[in-house]
Structure 1
Amino acid sequence: MAEPIKLSDVRFAAMNLLAIREHSAKELLEKLGRKFSAPELILQVVTDLKGQNLQSDERFADAFIRMRQQQGKGCVLIKMELRERGVDGYLISQLIDESEPAWFALARDVLIKRFKQTPVDAREKAKQMRFLHSRGFSSQHIQAAFNSEYDVQ
């Protein structure tokens, strides 16, 4: 017969996950759910960790946004990924402002890094626009990236 699952075991596992990186509450619930078959204990642990400010969706989202920006990802993609990870829409809108100049600069930087020069024809421009779109940039950011010349020799 298997030993009963203890609250301390679930908390220890949760703390280990949080020591590696920030996790959203939803991620923590899912990961602990795969390891332990005690949903009520898992929920209690995650709730306690939130109450003690050891788990914070805001901290998670902030770190996640910075990481994805460094990877050259746009705000549309980042917002979608945060929603998938259970971050509240209101919190997302507080942390990501699409009109911030940093998003326009990032789109331009990603374009320069990938393509080095302006497109020679409409077909090449469409290819470059699709690339930025796949990276999660809004059409507003994409248009702005093309409005400035970016030849880098």
Structure 2
Amino acid sequence: MPAVLDSPAAVRRAAMDLLARREHGRVELAGKLRRRGAPDELIEAALDRLADEGLLSEARYLESFVAARARSGHGPQRIREELVQRGLARAQVEQALRESGIDWFAQLRDVWQRKFAGRLPVDARERAQQGRFLAYRGYPMDMIGRLLSGRGDWD
């Protein structure tokens, strides 16, 4: 039977349970608490308190999200759009991507080598196929073009 979220302590406990599993953004956490039946005024008060105590941090969430998506082979454009769709400010997202320290071209090259065994396309059809895959993963077209034309900085 789900817990009733009708008191500040119950809402805080539910929020801390969610934060114990992984970092959450404020909007995402509020949505999860709302779906569990917590009233908006209790949610806002609990989230304000958690943020004041340093238990809820947008910066930590952004850092964690960017690192996890990059490890799974996603590029900066896809990560940016996912974060904006999750209700984070574009300026914060841009800053997190800049500060991530990720070499996006090296990441692109790694994804390409794993998927296509490091084989440059031999014709337009193959180039389009590889380009579509890499663009879907969220890499910019200028980087993809540089990689697929063999003009990349290879180390």
TM over 0.5: yes
Q: For the structure 1 residues 84 and 119, does the alpha-carbon distance in structure 2 shift closer, same or farther, using more than 3 Å as the test? A: same
* 1:115–1:41 distance in 2 versus 1, CA, 3 Å: same
Q: Does the 8 Å contact 2:11/2:38 carry over to 1?
A: no
**CA deviation vs aligned residue, 1:56-105 (integer Å, no higher than 9, x gap):** 1110010000000000000000000111112221111112139x771011
Report if the CA contact (8 A) 1:10-1:36 is conserved.
no
Question: Which residue does the alignment assign to 1:5?
Answer: 6
Residue 130 (structure 2) aligned to one of 116, 128, 135: 128
Taking a change above 3 Å as real, the CA distance of residues 4 and 62 of structure 1, as seen in their structure-2 partners, is closer
Q: Distance in 2 between matches of 1:56 and 1:145?
A: 36
Letter in 2 for 1:142: I
SS across alignment from 2:55 = coil
> What is the CA–CA distance in structure 1 between the aligned matches of 2:143 and 2:112, rounded to whole Å?
11
Q: TM-score scaled to structure 2, two decimals?
A: 0.88
Task: Give 1:122 deviation, angstroms.
Answer: 1.0
Residue 105 and residue 80 in structure 1: after superposition, are their counterparts in 2 closer, same or farther (change >3 A)? same
Give 5+ residue unaligned stretches, structure 2: none
* SS of corresponding position for 2:88: coil
Identity between Structure 1 and Structure 2 (%): 37
How many aligned residue pairs are there? 147
Quick one: which amino acid aligns to residue 130 of structure 1?
Answer: R
Q: How far apart, in 2, do the equivalents of 1:105 and 1:96 lie?
A: 15
Gaps of 5+ in 1: none
Are the counterparts in 2 of residues 33 and 39 from structure 1 also a CA contact under 8 Å? yes
Per the alignment, residue 68 of structure 1 pairs with 69
Residues 104, 144 of structure 1: 8 Å contact kept: no
Equivalent-residue separation in structure 1 for 2:71 and 2:78 (angstroms): 13
Alignment-derived partner of residue 32 in structure 1: 33
| Aligned residue number for residue 24 of structure 2 | 23
CA contact 1:68–1:78 (8 Å) conserved in 2: yes
Q: Structure 2 CA distance, aligned partners of 1:11 and 1:51?
A: 13
Looking at structure 2, the residues matched to 53 and 101 of structure 1 have their Cα atoms a distance apart, in angstroms, of: 26
State the alpha-carbon separation in 2 of the partners of residues 48 and 63 from structure 1.
21
Contact 2:121 2:148 in 1 (8 A): no
Equivalence for 1:81: 82
The equivalent residue for 1:92 is: 93
TM-score, structure 1 normalization: 0.89
Summarize deviations over 1:78-136 as a string: whole Å, max 9, x none: 000111112221111112139x7710111111111101111121110110000000001
